[in-house]
Amino acid sequence: MTGNAMTVPDNSETATSANPLPLAGVRVVEFTHMVMGPTCGMVLADLGAEVIKVEPLEGDSTRKLLGSGAGFYPLFNRNKKSIALNLQSVQGREVALRLIATADVVSENFKSSTMQKLGLDYASLRKLDERLIYVSHKGFLPGPYDHRTALDEVVQMMGGLAYMTGRPGDPLRAGSSVNDIMGGMFGAIGALAALMQRSTTGKGQEVQSALFENNILLVAQHMMQFAVTGKAPAPMPERISPWGIYDVFSVKDGEQIFLAVVGDRQWKTFCEAFGYTDLFADPRTTTNNDRVLARDWLIPELRTRLAGFSRAELSQRFEQVGLPFAPITDPQHLFDDPHLQATGGLAPMELPDGRKTQVPLLPLTLNGERLGLRLDPPKLGEHADELMRSLGYNVSQIAELRAQGVVL
């Protein structure tokens, strides 16, 4: 195992501008499925790494999911290459080991026992290459819970997030795979840190990221709220808001809009913009804390006064005076969002079945540019021939391995 892929840049993985992407020349081999592990690879791929997705012959199960899982595969597997191998065969594991021999990073999110049985765990691979960085995505970091099977919703329930999101007695998971996605992000952060450290030590290391611990970070603000105040945090729908006005309002034609007035200066601006001199003069609304204590009568009063406005009118008025607002938007309408369209936040993509769509990009810029799409989400085994030839297999050997059911 050489572990020298960083010194062999792949020109296909560089930016279209004169400067290469930050991770150009880094090769990542991932054994991942679902969301957490693929998210790590997506982040590294978007940053320029060559990410090779090793799939079973039947493909990543997310290729076939329905409902809320239908978007998993195209979103989290863009900018990657695909090779499908039978890792239960000696020949399939040999192909995988040859790939790993060219890699800087291996990423996986299977049970530890699964990778150990295949000889693809960190303890086995580090004996072959001490420079290898191995990113392991788990349900729990090592400890009393690490034998459990975890899902995003499992850790949201046991980690306080569902309690905070739902109403009292009605725990509710967040409306996105927040722990899976953030867990993958922390895996990528750990990989970047390990790459930096390897540049000085010459040695790789194992990085571990976990769903439960990620969830604990998400609710840490509520844990620390208790530490500071001594009072148990109430679920978000029942919480005592720190702001006088911080609510969703139902307005004309049944539309909804979120409006916020979060400080004394903003309160003055709001009252002037709508001509509410009586509310501004009321001694019960002088300070933000006064308005928090007055919410029982103030919010119903404002709901009555604002109900006759349309969402567009309120949006225009709040934008003109610089107050925070947000129309309540369904996710499918974000494809037409003028800001995303104007700022390059969406990239054209071809789905594996040939349909055209757009996909949201990472929420950052480098040198003022978004990190775009270089590779559409791959068809199953799309890059097998290219990759195997680069590993020294000839045409007849590849054909023989296909005939034996080793590679798709």
For residue range 138-181, what is the model confidence (pLDDT) as tens digits?
999 999 999 999 999 999 999 999 999 999 999 999 999 999 99
Give yes or no for a contact between 31 and 83, defined as CB atoms under 8 angstroms apart. no
**What local confidence, expressed as pLDDT, does residue 18 receive?**
60
Structure confidence at residue 402 (pLDDT): 97
Q: Are 274 and 217 in contact (CB under 8 A)?
A: no
| Interatomic CA distance for residues 122 and 133, integer angstroms | 9
Q: What is the distance between the alpha carbons of residues 194 and 212, in angstroms, rounded to a whole number?
A: 22
pLDDT in tens, 189-246: 999 999 999 999 999 999 999 999 999 999 999 999 999 999 999 998 887 778 999 9
The confidence score (pLDDT) of residue 99 equals 98
DSSP string, 125-171: HHTT-TT-EEEEEESS-SSTTTTS---HHHHHHHTTHHHHHSBTTB-
CATH of span 5-218+344-403:
3.40.50.10540
Whether residue 398 has pLDDT greater than 50: yes
- Domains 5-218+344-403 and 241-331 fall in the same CATH topology: no
Q: What is the mean pLDDT of the chain?
A: 94
Helix (H) or strand (E) holding 196, with range, is: helix 178-201
What is the spatial distance between Cα 264 and Cα 272, in angstroms, rounded to a whole number? 12
Helix axis angle, 211-218 to 178-201, nearest 10°: 110
Per domain, the residue ranges of the chain are: 5-218+344-403, 241-331
SS3 262: coil
| Nearest alpha carbon to residue 23 among 2, 1, 41 | 41
- Residue 12's pLDDT is 40
Neighbouring-strand partners of residue 82: 53
Residue 4 confidence (pLDDT) above 70: no
Give the CATH class of 241-331.
alpha beta
Euclidean distance between CA atoms 408 and 405, whole angstroms: 7
Res 106 pLDDT > 70: yes
- Reading the block at residue 167, the tokens are 């109403």
pLDDT in tens, 27-81: 999 999 999 999 999 999 999 999 999 999 999 999 999 999 999 999 999 999 9
